[in-house]
A and B are shown apart, each in its own frame.
Chain A
Amino acid sequence: MYELLAAPFVEFDFMRRALFGGIALALGAGPIGVFLMLRGMSLTGDAMAHAILPGAAIGFLIAGLSLPAMTIGGLTAGVVVAILAGLVTRYTALKEDASLAAFYLLSLALGVTIVSLRGSNIDLMHVLFGTVLALDDAALILITSIASITLAALALLYRPLVMECVDPVFLRSVSRAGGPAHLIFLGLVVLNLVGGFHALGTLLAVGLMMLPAAASRFWSPDVTGMILIATAIGMVSSAGGLLMSYHAALPAGPAIILVAGMAYIGSLFFGREGGLIYRLVPGRHLEA
């Protein structure tokens, strides 16, 4: 048991760092994912994750695999695409999902092209799938700072974010906080994706956000519960994925997302809140 669960982390520094990074990521990404899902923006998260790629790629082009350059590039690109997609939706006939799909395909193609201009295929793999087993101090500090900022900001914005999902007209009738809250929230999404990108790459960063969130919906009837469960699932997936990759010699990033994916599929079947089995075999009906 010890060999299976603890030894890899006790023996290897890079495993401990990866576990620490994964747990910190889950802290921020879990709640963000829950809100993305509740706001009907699950695909927005995906699109923004891709949008980060060209920015990070330009950072890479200028400075190589440098943390600050790629972070700043990714942040800038993420914010720009979020704003552009919003503008296109507001001022043209295109619905938001279509404009996001357009932006995300463009970003992906552009990003891959830019990385290939200078780097090798290995560099490309780094950018797309991350390097969770090679997180240095700077990256860990970045990830934990982002998680802290996220939790503090969400605590402050909790009311308007929930109210805007449930009853936007009501929120508008009592307050002007809805608009700014939404913008700050989008900013937090980009921040967390940039944090996740260093560990899991642009393609998988969103996985630790959406999979635990989607799974949590099957376990809790309220937002607080969902946030706690999503965060827990994210943390357990990080640990489980790292162990799986260690023992079975699998790539670590995809292993983490696979474990999260299994948690989702398990919840889909066994979840108490509208899971499949509960739906199909509900037991005999009650008196009242």
Chain B
Amino acid sequence: MSRAAIRFDNVTLGYDRRPAVHHLDGEVAKGSLTAIIGPNGAGKSTLLKGVVGALQPLSGKIGLAEGARSRIAYLPQAAEVDRTFPLNVYDLVAMGMWSARGLFGAIGRADRARIEEAIAAVGLAGFERRPIGTLSGGQMQRSLFARLLLQDASLILLDEPFTAIDEKTTADLLNLVRRWRDEERTVVAVLHDLDIVRRVFPQTLLIAREPIAWGETDSVLRPENLLRARRMIEANDPFALVCDRA
């Protein structure tokens, strides 16, 4: 058993043979907090999709710690939930019980207590019966974090969790991230706010289609690295040749 929660082995991910993430090597240690940063179009979300298994690598291999595939919790970028669906906060959060109860398992009294607890932990007590269509952006994100809490996952992937979220909500949700760290869960989050990265995430991966730097946050966030990332070309060369790097 290695200490790695995720191992990238010369991974290239992309769409239609065009790479969005190029030749990534490295490990995310178990129980670590890792931020993924980089400009728009750098391949950050693509990388998470690869880890979840929603996207097969074009080449290379993504290895997960034993049995981890079933214990991943993934929070995609905000837009994915159909907010017009007639569903209340309680039921949305209760979906997090899927990993424990599956298709047919009954939600018992203890489970209901856990659901109430998760809703309270994100500060939404009293909102259980509110339709999700009436929630603000911040409240919606809180509910989704409550669902993550219930998933009891060993690896938690967050895609821009604090975009368009106010300071108070961000601070509350960051406390949950710290709680996950204390429970020795692995958290990987795509972020844009470098201030949050410095404060909360000890490890950082800076990518711009290719990995620019990966390691201790302070050493990654040096001006020369950030500048290199910013120079990344939004390449979509119609005459691109087949990549022959090993």
Contact = CB atoms under 8 A, between A and B. Distances in A.
Interface of A: 38, 156, 159-160, 162-163, 165-170, 172-175, 177, 217, 220-223, 226
Given A156-B104, A160-B103, A221-B131, A173 B74 contact: yes
B88 A222 contact: yes
B243 interface: no
Given A173-B54, A177-B103, A166 B87 contact: yes
Contacts, number: 60
Contact of A220 (B76, B86, B98): B86
B145 to A, nearest CB: 13
Contacts of A175: 98, 102-103
A222 B103 contact: no
Interface string B176-195: 00000000000000000000
B52 A223 contact: no
B104 A162 contact: no
A163 B98 CA distance: 10
A178 to B, nearest CB: 11
Interface residues of B, number: 25
A174 B99 contact: yes
B88 A167 contact: no
B81 interface: yes
5 contacts: A156-B103, A166-B95, A174-B151, A222-B88, A226-B86
A159 B86 contact: no
B174 interface: no
A177 B80 CA distance: 18
A166 B72 contact: no
A222 B87 contact: yes
B92 interface: yes
B195 to A, nearest CB: 28
Given A160-B103, A173-B72, A173-B74, A165 B85 contact: yes
Contacts of A159: 98, 103
Given A221-B86, A222-B87, A170 B95 contact: yes
List the 7 closest A-B pairs by CB distance, nearest first: A173-B74, A169-B80, A174-B98, A166-B85, A167-B81, A169-B76, A222-B86
A196 B162 CA distance: 50
Interface string B68-90: 00001110100011100111100
Nearest to A173: B74
Contacts of A217: 86
B134 to A, nearest CB: 10
A166 B92 contact: yes
Interface string B117-129: 0000000000000
A168 B54 CA distance: 12
A172 B54 contact: yes
A167 B54 contact: no
A167 B95 CA distance: 10
Nearest to B82: A166
Given A173-B52, A221-B131, A223-B87, A165 B82 contact: yes
Contacts of A167: 80-82, 92, 95
A226 B87 CA distance: 11
B185 to A, nearest CB: 16
B215 to A, nearest CB: 28
A214 B67 CA distance: 44
Contacts of A162: 87
Contacts of B86: 38, 217, 220-223, 226
B80 A168 contact: yes
Contacts of B91: 222
Given A159-B98, A163-B95, A167-B95, 10 more contacts: A163-B98, A166-B85, A167-B92, A169-B74, A169-B80, A170-B74, A174-B99, A174-B151, A220-B86, A222-B86
